[in-house]
């Protein structure tokens, strides 16, 4: 259930927490390379805990939200995917594949504007094959109303109708909603402000979400616009989040009965 710390960098693949330890290592390396902010490590840990209590898998409710998200991105006029340090450290290759499949730009948008971070994150995305990266040229930037943090500085996001925000802070999600943008959030905390404010909330780990979105995009590209719109119209975010909370309650109830069996 609970991860051991990384003992060394060659954790065997057979280790029950291999995947979790691998991504933890990526985040720590990301911090050393300036890609990830220090607070990004704490945020990652918070995510790990929420991941445990959803069972560390893409639940049915997440799959439903992913379908609505992909349908929305495929029918949007000016969609954009926001990228922060943790996302760039964890899933750069998958994110670039998704953005190319959807023909959507990636925009670097950071909470912590430490000197040089935009440059190293740009490098990470370029190395992963990205060609259309926004948020790197100060001359193209404008400021979002109602947002104090560094995240107020936006490029393509200012004009976008749909913004996908993986691993987001609540302030920006609120600001984007107040500007009438459609927000797609990826957030392991089902009751964060971002999760509650977003139009479509995918409660799942980004390392599983982006590959699942890639597969869904491949399928949905074959659908007619009417079919995509039906998928969007049938989606109820509030209900979906409440069902996710039911899954968490079920998981903890099960743990209550089973946890001590490991000692027997």
Binding region for a second copy (CB under 8 A): 1-2, 4-7, 24, 27-28, 31, 38-39, 41-50, 53, 111-112, 148-149, 169-171, 189, 191-194, 196-197, 238, 241-242, 245-246, 248-249, 252-253, 255-256, 259-260, 262-263
CB 60 within 8 A of CB 69: no
Nearer to a second copy, 43 or 176 (CB): 43
Nearer to a second copy, 103 or 255 (CB): 255
**What minimum distance in Å lies between the beta carbon of 124 and a second copy?**
19
Nearer to a second copy, 28 or 128 (CB): 28
Nearer to a second copy, 156 or 199 (CB): 199
Please name the residue ranges forming H helices in 7-146: 18-32, 38-53, 60-75, 85-90, 92-102, 117-127
**What minimum distance in Å lies between the beta carbon of 172 and a second copy?**
10
Nearer to a second copy, 73 or 154 (CB): 154
Spatial separation of the C-alpha atoms in residues 54 and 48, rounded to whole Å: 10
**What minimum distance in Å lies between the beta carbon of 202 and a second copy?**
16
CB 118 within 8 A of CB 88: no
Nearer to a second copy, 233 or 253 (CB): 253
**What minimum distance in Å lies between the beta carbon of 227 and a second copy?**
29
Residue 138: half-sphere exposure toward Cβ, Cα within 13 Å = 4
* Structure letter (DSSP) for residue 105: -
**What minimum distance in Å lies between the beta carbon of 17 and a second copy?**
11
* Burial class (CB within 10 angstroms; exposed 0-12, middle 13-18, buried 19+) of 128: middle
Please name the residue ranges forming H helices in the chain: 18-32, 38-53, 60-75, 85-90, 92-102, 117-127, 170-178, 193-197, 206-220, 225-233, 237-258
**What minimum distance in Å lies between the beta carbon of 177 and a second copy?**
10
Spatial separation of the C-alpha atoms in residues 85 and 118, rounded to whole Å: 9
């Amino acid at each position: 259930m609970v991860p051991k710390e990384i003992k060394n960098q060659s954790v065997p693949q057979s280790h029950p927490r291999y995947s979790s330890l691998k991504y933890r290592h990526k985040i720590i390396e990301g911090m050393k390379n300036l890609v990830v902010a220090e607070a990004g490590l704490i945020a990652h840990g918070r995510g790990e805990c929420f991941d445990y209590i959803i069972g560390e898998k893409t639940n049915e409710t997440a799959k439903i939200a992913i379908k609505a998200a992909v349908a929305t991105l495929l029918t949007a006029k000016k969609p954009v995917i926001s990228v922060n340090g943790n996302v760039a450290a964890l899933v750069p290759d998958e994110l670039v594949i998704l953005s190319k499949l959807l023909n959507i730009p990636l925009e670097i948008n950071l909470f912590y504007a430490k000197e040089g971070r935009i440059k190293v994150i740009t490098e990470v995305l370029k190395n992963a094959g990205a060609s259309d990266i926004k948020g790197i040229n100060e001359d193209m930037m404008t400021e979002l109303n109602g947002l104090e943090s560094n995240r107020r500085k936006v490029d393509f996001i200012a004009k976008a109708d749909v913004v996908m925000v993986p691993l987001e802070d609540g302030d920006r999600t609120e600001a984007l909603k107040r500007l009438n943008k459609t927000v797609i959030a990826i957030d392991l905390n089902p009751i964060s402000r971002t999760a509650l404010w977003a139009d479509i909330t995918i409660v799942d780990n980004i390392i599983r979400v982006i590959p699942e979105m890639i597969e869904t995009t491949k399928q949905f590209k074959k659908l007619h616009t009417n079919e995509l719109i039906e998928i969007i119209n049938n989606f109820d975010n509030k209900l979906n989040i409440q069902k996710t909370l039911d899954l968490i309650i079920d998981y903890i109830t099960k743990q209550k009965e089973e946890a001590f069996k490991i000692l027997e």
